[in-house]
Amino acid sequence: MRRDKLFGIIGYPLSHTQSPAMHNAAFKRLGLDAIYLVFEVAPKGLGDAIAAIRGLGIAGINVTIPHKEAVIKYLDDLSQEAKLIGAVNTIVNKNGKLTGHNTDVFGFIKALKEDLKFDPRGKNIFILGAGGAAKAVAFGLAQKGAKRIVLTDVADEKALELACDVELKTNCACLALPCGSPGIKEMILNSQLLVNATPCGMKDADPAAIDPKLLHKGLAVFDLVYNKNTKLIKAAKRMGLRASGGLDMLLYQGARAFELWTGKKAPVEVMRKALKKE
């Protein structure tokens, strides 16, 4: 089988990705002679994998856990957004020049608007996690005019680093709280949006990412986890809160990547159907 254009995703481990179904369905609908494959790449193999993109002429690659930040040093250029955030989830290969983009920001903000009808302007927001995805969420919300963002992560220094970065580069007040600190309760009470940007909830055995007792009537909840209806989302819905999982974010970040790679409008409904079927 010959395909004119090769695309794919690198990450480690990569047992749960739904991106191939979404992109291959889109290629088929548009009649493009292209295929999207999965490349499981351990951290020590990242440099070789990026060299292979150039060597094999792979046209575009998605990047996921744990490579979103580490990949930057191997690229030739970054979009303004990827530079600001310091994380890349999409690589475009134009004649051997590799440019890193971040389409998670677009995906998150669009899903937030469509699923929760939430406008971040002037709002207080609480984010669980300070990894690659949390960076996109925090900068996206700050750019959309959020008033204050509070972060916490099991790795306290990561939360502190991200909070400082957001404060330095945007007009949004951003602070980090130590994991499990008593101040978390008050900050969530004073927030209008809670975002789970940790992997907590991906496994059936995982607890709710935050104690459901901290949820309150004035809170909307967005959980980036997309492979499950998490305990956090279930608890929020039981309380009648606006709540959404990460499937639409996955869809819209994928649609944006598709457009960067192909220059064509993404068939979003075809991609949504493929994702739901998965």
Catalytic machinery residues: 68
Find out whether 210 and 196 touch, Cβ atoms under 8 Å: yes
How far apart are CB 268 and ligand NAP at their closest, in Å?
A: 14
φ, ψ (nearest 5 deg) of residue 11: -175, 175
- Determine the angle formed by the axes of helices 132-143 and 156-169, rounding to 10 degrees: 30
* DSSP at 190: T
Per the DSSP assignment, residues forming a β-bridge with 176 are: 151
Binding mask 110-129 for ligand NAP (x = CB under 6 A): ------------------xx
- Beta strand 60-63 with 173-176 is unpaired
**137 makes contact with ligand NAP (CB under 6 A):** no
**197 makes contact with ligand NAP (CB under 6 A):** yes
Q: Which of 75, 225, 235, 241 binds ligand NAP (CB under 6 A)?
A: 225
Q: Within positions 15 to 44, which residues make up the interface with ligand NAP, using CB under 6 A?
A: none
Cis preceding-peptide flag for 66 (omega within 30 of 0) = yes
**132 makes contact with ligand NAP (CB under 6 A):** yes
What are the distances in angstroms from CA 51 to CA 54, 74, 98, 255? 5, 8, 10, 25
Binding mask 242-261 for ligand NAP (x = CB under 6 A): ----x--xx--x--------
φ, ψ (nearest 5 deg) of residue 176: -110, 140
Measured from each CB, the residue nearest to ligand NAP is: 131
Q: Which residues bind ligand NAP (CB under 6 A)?
A: 65, 68, 104, 107, 128-134, 153-155, 158, 179, 197-200, 202, 209, 224-226, 246, 249-250, 253
